[in-house]
């Protein structure tokens, strides 16, 4: 039976209620005894407080503005939830519980819609701000800029040449190394060569308490923002914009970057994550990129890291130590190979080189995977033939 039914079944005068509540709250008499004294037959001990009036609070319901009430306390539970007698809105004692009355649901829905609208507006303002920027002067693009934009256009842009896909959606890394990729896309954005695309996913943006918006560099779409409407087509099939010295130097640099990235991924497979290449490693890889094809370097790294794997398995050395001894072994192996003129085996092209390197192999060298198997050399016969075509 609920409160109302019980109050109707056992109607008490105000005087009786007062007396009953004094016995209940202020004496040690058992409830059974009290019920007996007052002739309340058939009432459960736990239902005795049902007979008392609700307690008025000094809180007004935020929806109906009527005074909110509490059920009468029991002997063991002096603190009850506060509720609105009209709309049933409840202020729970426990902060873990939230009211879900009709009014609260409506309020939540309105707040949600308001928040969504604010979010939309904040993103919209950010995109507008970007589209109001002056487009980058095409004549100011350096060869480096062209290589970067060209590779994004080739590997990350949609068929209509409108949007660069978010880097995290792309199969290929933009640049050898994930952190480096993000660093470079940030620079392109900061320098104004690309802007945020009008296509977007709300989840790519974050908002602070003041609804200031920021975004994840690898999760957003971009547009190329250069004042030449044909720039995308041009960089998709570029005329040679590098001289021979630049070609050679970029070739070596990209191979070096790919090789270091390859070494780090091999390390990562062996759970060696703490290693970051310093000057010594950089120098070694620069020397290797000068004398060997990228394929040969990959082969050498694989050969050496097979030994590293055994060392990791025996587990009696620190990872940093293992990484350092791997580099030393790689160095010895490289110079010995040079000295004894080893015929170095190639590994197969695995097609997971970065966008920039692949763009360079395909569109600048015009060699495709052959570049992977060739020692960087601008006088190479094949290269010359292809360039003359």
Contact 157, 165 (CB under 8 A): yes
Residue 55 beta carbon to Zn ion: minimum distance, rounded to whole angstroms: 17
Closest to Zn ion by CB, 90 or 148: 90
Closest to Zn ion by CB, 89 or 256: 89
Residue 94 beta carbon to Zn ion: minimum distance, rounded to whole angstroms: 15
Long-range contacts of 125-133 (CB under 8 A, 24+ apart): 125/213, 126/196, 126/205, 126/213, 126/215, 127/196, 127/197, 127/198, 127/200, 130/195, 130/196, 130/225, 131/195, 131/198, 133/192, 133/195, 133/225
Neighbours of 48 (CB within 10 A): 23
Neighbours of 178 (CB within 10 A): 14
Closest to Zn ion by CB, 88 or 131: 88
Residue 69 beta carbon to Zn ion: minimum distance, rounded to whole angstroms: 11
Residue 65 beta carbon to Zn ion: minimum distance, rounded to whole angstroms: 8
Residue 84 beta carbon to Zn ion: minimum distance, rounded to whole angstroms: 3
Residue 118 beta carbon to Zn ion: minimum distance, rounded to whole angstroms: 24
Please give the Cα distance from 252 to 139 (Å, whole number). 27
Residue 106 beta carbon to Zn ion: minimum distance, rounded to whole angstroms: 9
346 sits in which H/E element = none
Structure tokens at 120: 């939309």
| Ramachandran assignment for 42, one of left (phi > 0), alpha (psi -120 to 50 degrees), beta (any other) | left
| Cα dist from 180 to 247, 281, 289, 352, 360, whole Å | 21, 17, 19, 16, 17
Closest to Zn ion by CB, 8 or 65: 65
Long-range contacts of 16-23 (CB under 8 A, 24+ apart): 17/51, 17/52, 17/53, 20/48, 20/51, 20/52, 21/52, 21/72
Q: Which of 190, 371, 206 is nearest to 289 (CA)?
A: 371
Closest to Zn ion by CB, 84 or 173: 84
The binding site for Zn ion (CB under 5 A) comprises: 61, 63-64, 84, 86-87, 89, 99, 101, 104
Query: 67 has which bridge partners?
Result: 60
Closest to Zn ion by CB, 29 or 100: 100
Contact 49, 34 (CB under 8 A): no
Instruction: Count Cα neighbours of 31 within 13 Å in the Cβ-side half-sphere.
Output: 12
Residue 77 beta carbon to Zn ion: minimum distance, rounded to whole angstroms: 22
Which residue in the block uniquely carries the two structure tokens 């052959």?
A: 370
Q: Which of 229, 246, 232, 289 is nearest to 143 (CA)?
A: 246
Residue 164 beta carbon to Zn ion: minimum distance, rounded to whole angstroms: 47
């Amino acid at each position: 039976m609920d409160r109302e039914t019980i109050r109707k079944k056992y109607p008490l005068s105000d005087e009786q209620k007062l007396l009953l509540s004094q016995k209940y709250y202020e004496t040690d008499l058992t409830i059974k005894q009290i019920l007996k004294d007052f002739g309340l037959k058939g009432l459960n001990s736990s239902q005795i407080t049902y007979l008392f009036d609700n307690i008025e609070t000094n809180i007004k319901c935020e929806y109906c503005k009527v005074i909110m009430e509490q059920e009468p306390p029991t002997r063991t539970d002096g603190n009850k939830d506060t509720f609105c007698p009209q709309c049933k809105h409840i202020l729970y004692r426990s902060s873990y519980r939230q009211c879900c009355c009709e009014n609260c649901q409506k309020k939540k829905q309105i707040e949600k819609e308001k928040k969504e609208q604010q979010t939309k507006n904040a993103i919209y303002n950010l995109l507008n701000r970007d589209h109001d920027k002056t487009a980058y002067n095409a004549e100011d693009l350096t060869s480096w800029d062209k290589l970067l934009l060209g590779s994004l256009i080739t590997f990350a842009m949609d068929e209509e040449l409108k949007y660069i896909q978010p880097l995290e959606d792309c199969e290929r890394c933009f640049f050898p190394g994930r952190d480096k990729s993000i660093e470079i896309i940030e620079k392109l954005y900061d320098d104004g060569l690309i802007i945020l695309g009008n296509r977007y996913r709300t989840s790519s943006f974050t908002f602070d308490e003041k609804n200031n918006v920021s975004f994840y560099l690898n999760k957003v779409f971009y547009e190329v923002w250069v004042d030449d409407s044909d720039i995308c087509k041009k960089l998709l099939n570029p005329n040679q914009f590098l001289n021979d010295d630049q070609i050679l130097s970029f070739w070596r640099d990209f191979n070096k970057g790919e090789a270091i990235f390859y070494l780090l991924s091999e390390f990562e497979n062996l759970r060696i994550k703490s290693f970051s290449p310093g000057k010594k490693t950089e120098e070694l890889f620069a020397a290797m990129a000068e004398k060997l094809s990228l394929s040969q370097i990959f082969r050498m790294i694989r050969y050496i890291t097979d030994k590293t794997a055994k060392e990791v398995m025996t587990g009696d050395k620190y990872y940093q130590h293992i990484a350092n001894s791997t580099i030393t072994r790689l160095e010895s192996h490289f110079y010995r190979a040079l000295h004894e003129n080893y015929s170095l085996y190639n590994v197969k092209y695995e097609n997971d080189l970065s966008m920039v390197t692949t763009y360079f192999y395909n569109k600048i060298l015009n060699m495709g995977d052959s570049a992977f198997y060739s020692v960087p050399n601008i006088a190479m016969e094949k290269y010359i033939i292809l360039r003359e075509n």
